[in-house]
Amino acid sequence: MKANHHKFNVFIEVARKLNGIGITPLLMGSVGLEVVTDRSWDAQDLDIHVPGDKRGWEVPAETSIHNWNEIVEIMNSMGYTLIDLHEHEFSKDGLSVEFGIIDTLPAFAGIKIEDLKMHQNGDVRYYLLNPQQYLHVYEASSKDSYRADQNNHKDLSKMEYLNDLVSAANIKRK
């Protein structure tokens, strides 16, 4: 696998602890895309989505993620420091771990929670998007002006790759 092993291994460590408090996280962002495509996307951080208020940014940051206090305790116990409450971002040794809200996916990208595929790594359970779902997320993200300004070139190449991948898979099925 070409995916960034270190970041994926950190995700598995965090996911194991989240599973311990009844949370099955969704691995998002470039690390998740690397796992799904077996291709390096130069992941800069770790994006983990967990249950929360489906209104997302409309809710105060400290109450938008369910079990937030327990998540903070878990991250602190692993040596991470909360550096941005609004972004739910932690940092340790130069690695940023950000938490998002899985329950915003339906409104944001048209992805139903029940359509997410559960994966297992040893005793750790987590969700991953499939290529079509990733395409929906990046298409929705491209409409976000901040993200477009910050990541436009990277997101465009991801969308092109995913479009080709999804098209090829659809042709094979016919």
Q: How far apart are CA 122 and CA 104, in angstroms?
A: 28
48 closest CA partner among 126, 106, 141: 126
- Residue 52: pLDDT above 50? yes
> For residue 173, what pLDDT is reported?
56
What sign for the dihedral angle of Cα 131, 96, 5, 75?
A: negative
pTM: 0.89
Band of residue 35 on the pLDDT scale cut at 50, 70, 90: very high
Instruction: Show me where the domains of the chain are located.
Output: 5-129
- CATH class as words, domain 5-129: alpha beta
- Residue with the bigger pLDDT between 166 and 66: it is 66
